[in-house]
């Protein structure tokens, strides 16, 4: 049977990334409290393709995933990237894994427990020099009270759900829980899945006493991250789903240019949509 | 050239709806203020298929649309449905058109103008007895302040953006603008695209003075619709994107069972997702 | 502390459904092969609200879910609906649960195993007479080859990924796996997560030898369901993401009107979008 | 009335981007054939915020848009960015505009006209040195036939809809139409909104005679772009919605690192999701 993918290509154009995209897969993720939790991921896996080959072998990506039994953690990412390079005979490898992550969180006064969901992403690149670049990312829903509305109004203040997206590069392993707690501590108030009336009073008053613009939220998070010498790079954005508008307010701070490691990583432009 | 679609089918199973789905098309819609406005629609068009035919002629749906020059209004829906039945040689026809609709709205105090966007849908069915059933639908973003949070908290009250979806059946033509204004008048406060500081003070205080649960919003809209004898049927839901949770609060009232006109209309179950 | 929700409402308008929407939650689902599998659900839970009450108690829905430890099956749905009615002091209850479901499936020739993902939904209503109405729903990706394109072209035939959505009501418990296998057996060919070259040859030839319109797919599924006397009602649609167009071809058959059980169920109109 | 935004901020942290996100707005776009066309955009507008200010003035972004009457073209982007810097008293400005764009396209044999829709995006940055960086982007649906499947199968070949995303930087103005036509000429076959049977035969045979992997598609487009000395940078990806899988095949080539103009532009990492 012909192996078209293995044929020689004469266009002389190497491909930066080739592989599979939007594969859904059940995975287990390391969990600070329980040890591990089961969730469902959307996975992209790519390798580079040298100019002389016509195609990559797409089925090997999925086979690899099946063999790995889908145990995912920052700790085994480097090994996973290395295996991809071997199985696909490639010089660089990319994995992008997105999944909802659940944390038990008690209501602030009543202590009633509930589960909060957070969208998380872990992405990794191993380049042709075997340098590994990992990025950890969390989307954290928050509550934000508008300082301007509070200052100018006789009573009340508009507030809304917002979402903070935090991406970090780091020296040592970092828990998703730690990133999430950092973000939540910088909001007007954090968000819960169960609140009894005593709790609703508490979060209403706490948020009203702590009004913040999207600008304040990203600055407070950036301040904290700059003091943490485990963090080598970060990007933080806050988006408020304004309760007085049908569009969002948005602010974004990046700690510095994205590190370019080897030739394997060329960044994308304007990822606004 | 063979016409497979025209071949005889022997399975003896008529098809309720067959056609094209998710076609994007620029359309013009009748506008109460400007006469007409240009927008972009997503369109579904279906007919029934009698048991003896193997297939319908999909290209005719798109050809028809092109000939019509995409002028869409409730007034020409009946004619459009009739043409579909003729061109496709069918006994029943369905059209579903979804589009963003823009209305100029001035900020409440400063009078600064802006454009608000509303998702709208018009759907029509013409059955085998040539009875036409039209439904007009609007999604209206609103601001809602929680009555419980206000009552139990020393200061402030959680509030958030919500969305009301109103569907109506009616005797005489009804403007999308009228449906939208009805919904906006039943919110804690309506939502604007531009607000200067004097306006922000106004909408904050107005909303705080007018706290409403999702239950209140749907009841107030239902009350108003029940008094309007042009409305023969309605369905109204309110969804609050809670600022203290990562899920929504939801309420729904329907005025009565969906009218079944002829054999052409069999309703769908549980359309919750 | 005031209980605003418990206050008397004088508008005299009962609410059909009130509760929480779009709550994400990890659940375990009964699995024909493994016994159970862990997945992540999006959950809606509603009850009715009698005219004399101002509001429902939203926090109780999430508390209930937490106590249940999120074990979900068709078998315990009736009990869950009953508990909702008790905890919320309501006459009717609705639950809608959507989740990705994974089935191990071997490539047809090489036997290499992979995991296929299917979007599933289970919805249940318990009305004021304690009649329970359950609907089981699966989205099944399929491969479809166009019979017209094959018949008129010298070589080849356009084909594409499609999606079949099957909803059933039934007398006895029905496995999601059974619904999925029924749909897959009626496609030009089913879809796999891993295919080696010997498998790719097999599925290409199998699909090419078995061309089907969306009309054929829904008719073949309807034929099979009509012979199954465990199925009391069904709705089946097929949508082809046409490879020659940027829109879909679509067909839909419903076995008969949605059963109305008691006053609790009034159906929604035109759920086209 | 207090101006909280104008207060002095002491955290000493400048903000890279602050403004409005996901505002929907009707716009007119320059059109190679008709002169201009009306469509609906989703718009993000940001400026930088120096460390000493607490907040930006969000309402000014929307006011500006309203004054401009939403005439959008690559030609007036530089002026628009300049106005944003003036009105918001900022050193850098960003605009991101996404919209569906329609092109009349005749069926290849019958000549029947139809409208094809393409998602397009134009993004622009003006930095503190008044250097303007524009990126033009199109999503083009294509048809792709698998070369491996064709080579190993006795008859037929799996094919599917794919999507190519092309981003370019350029010296002189470039039409969206030119980018779209370049992509369509590198597919197995392009995609149409109306095809009669004679056309369906043509596109089936053309595609079957021209099988291409995602790797081939991005290489052929890259070859063409490298020969065009108006193009100073490009990024091209192809994603196939595989008809034999429930995930995508993907390939990506970037012509070189994203140009960094001044301090205003720091790129985002790993924009895989």
Cα–Cα distance between B156 and A47 in angstroms, integer? 53
The predicted pLDDT at position C90 comes to 96
R_g of chain C, CA atoms, integer Å: 22
Whether residues A20 and D250 touch (CB distance < 8 A) is answered with yes
Dihedral angle over CA of B172, B173, B177, B180, nearest 10:
50
From A102, A117, A196, residue closest to C59, measured CB to CB: A196
Q: Does C157 touch chain D (CB under 8 A)?
A: yes
From B156, B200, B247, residue closest to A148, measured CB to CB: B200
The predicted pLDDT at position A34 comes to 81
Q: Per-residue pLDDT tens, chain D, 273 aa: give them.
A: 889 999 999 999 999 999 999 999 999 998 898 889 999 999 999 999 999 999 999 999 999 988 776 677 777 888 889 999 999 999 999 999 999 999 999 999 999 999 999 999 999 999 999 999 999 999 999 999 999 999 999 999 999 999 999 999 999 989 999 999 999 999 999 999 999 999 999 999 999 999 999 999 999 999 999 999 999 999 999 999 999 999 999 999 999 887 755 333 344 444 344
Residue D213's SS3 state is: coil
The predicted pLDDT at position D260 comes to 59
Give the tokens for residue A253.
């701070």
Could you read off the pLDDT of B159-182 as tens digits, one per residue? Answer: 999 999 999 999 998 999 999 999
Alpha carbon of residue C66 to chain centroid: 23
Q: Which helix (H) or strand (E) element contains residue C135?
A: strand C132-145
Whether residues C115 and A25 touch (CB distance < 8 A) is answered with yes
Q: Which residue has the tokens 């600070």?
A: A32
C86 contacts: CB under 8 Å, gap ≥ 6:
none
**Chain C stretch 66-85, residues whose beta carbon is closer than 8 A to a beta carbon of chain B:** none
The predicted pLDDT at position D262 comes to 39
Q: How many residues does chain D have?
A: 273
> For residue A148, which residues of chain D lie inside 8 Å, CB to CB?
2, 4-5, 55
Q: Which helix (H) or strand (E) element contains residue D148?
A: helix D147-152
Give the closest-approach CA distance of C114 to chain A in angstroms.
Answer: 6
pLDDT class of C70 with cuts at 50, 70, 90: low
Cα–Cα distance between D202 and D192 in angstroms, integer? 12
Mutate to test the interface with B, among C46, C119, C227, C247 (most CBs of B within 10 A): C247
Could you read off the pLDDT of C170-228 as tens digits, one per residue? Answer: 999 899 999 999 999 999 999 999 999 999 999 999 999 999 999 999 999 999 999 99
Mutate to test the interface with B, among D36, D40, D69, D107 (most CBs of B within 10 A): D40
Could you read off the pLDDT of B230-258 as tens digits, one per residue? Answer: 999 999 999 999 999 999 999 999 998 87
Strands B159-170 and B35-49: unpaired
- Name the residue of chain A whose CA is nearest to B211's CA: A156
**Chain B stretch 208-247, residues whose beta carbon is closer than 8 A to a beta carbon of chain C:** 213-216, 218-220, 222-223, 235, 239, 246-247
Name the class of domain C15-254.
alpha beta
Handedness of CA A215, A220, A223, A229 (dihedral sign): negative
Task: Determine contact, residues C49/C13, Cβ cutoff 8 Å.
Answer: no
Give the tokens for residue B194.
């531009």
3-state secondary structure chain A: CCCHHHCECCCCCCEEEEEEEEEEEEEEEEECCCEEEEEEEEEEEEEEECCCECCCCHHHHHHHHHHCCCEECHHHHHHHHHHHHHHCCCCCEEEEEEEEEEEEEECCCCCCEEEEEEEEEEEEEECCCCCEEEEEEEEEEEEEECHHHHHHCCCCCCEEEEEEEEEEEECCCCCHHHHHHHHHHCCCEECCCCCCHHHHHHHHHHHHCCCCCHHHHHHHHHHHHHHCCCEEEEEEEEEECCCCCCCEEEEEEECCCCCCCCCCCCCCCCCCC
Task: Report domain extents, chain C.
Answer: 15-254
Number of H helices, E strands in chain C: 6, 10
pLDDT class of B263 with cuts at 50, 70, 90: very low
Q: Does A198 touch chain C (CB under 8 A)?
A: yes
Q: Does B194 touch chain D (CB under 8 A)?
A: yes
pLDDT class of A261 with cuts at 50, 70, 90: low
Cα–Cα distance between C132 and C170 in angstroms, integer? 12
Cα–Cα distance between A200 and A209 in angstroms, integer? 14
The predicted pLDDT at position A75 comes to 73
DSSP string, B43-111: EEEEEEE-TTBS---HHHHHHHHHHHTTEE-HHHHHHHHHHHHHHHT-S-EEEEEEEEEEEEEE-TTT-
Give the tokens for residue B151.
């009552």
Burial grade of D229 (CB within 10 A; 0-12, 13-18, 19 or more) = exposed
Q: Which residue has the tokens 């500006």?
A: D64
Residue D68's SS3 state is: helix
- Name the residue of chain D whose CA is nearest to A260's CA: D257
Going by C-alpha positions, the residue among C132, C94, C135, C161 that lies closest to residue C255 is C135
Neighbours of chain C (3+ CB pairs under 8 A): A, B, D
The predicted pLDDT at position D109 comes to 98
From D3, D63, D100, residue closest to B194, measured CB to CB: D63
> For residue D247, which residues of chain C lie inside 8 Å, CB to CB?
193
> For residue B112, which residues of chain A lie inside 8 Å, CB to CB?
none
Neighbours of chain B (3+ CB pairs under 8 A): A, C, D
Residue B222's SS3 state is: helix
């Amino acid at each position: 049977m012909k192996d078209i993918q293995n044929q020689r290509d004469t266009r002389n154009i190497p491909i930066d990334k080739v592989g599979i995209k939007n594969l859904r897969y059940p995975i287990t993720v390391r969990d600070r409290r329980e040890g591990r939790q089961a969730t469902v991921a959307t996975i992209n896996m790519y390798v580079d393709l040298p100019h002389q080959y016509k195609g990559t072998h797409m089925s090997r990506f999925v086979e690899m995933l099946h063999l790995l039994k889908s145990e995912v953690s920052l700790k085994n990412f480097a090994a996973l990237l290395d295996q991809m390079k071997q199985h696909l005979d490639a010089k660089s490898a990319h994995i992008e894994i997105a999944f909802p992550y659940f944390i038990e969180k008690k209501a602030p006064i009543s202590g009633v427990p509930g589960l909060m969901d957070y969208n998380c992403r872990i992405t990794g690149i191993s380049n042709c020099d075997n340098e590994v670049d990992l990025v950890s990312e969390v989307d954290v829903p928050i509550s934000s009270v508008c300082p301007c509305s509070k200052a100018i109004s006789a009573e009340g203040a508009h507030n809304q759900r917002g979402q903070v997206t935090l991406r970090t590069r780091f020296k040592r392993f970092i828990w998703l829980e730690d990133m999430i707690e950092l973000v939540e501590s910088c909001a007007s108030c954090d968000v819960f899945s169960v609140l009894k009336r005593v709790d609703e009073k508490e979060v209403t008053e706490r948020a009203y006493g702590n009004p913040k613009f999207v600008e304040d939220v990203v600055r407070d998070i950036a301040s904290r991250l700059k003091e943490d010498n485990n963090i080598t790079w970060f990007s933080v954005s806050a988006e408020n789903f304004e309760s007085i508008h049908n569009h969002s307010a948005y602010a974004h701070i990046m700690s510095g240019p994205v590190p370019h490691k080897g030739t394997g990583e060329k960044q994308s432009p304007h990822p606004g949509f």
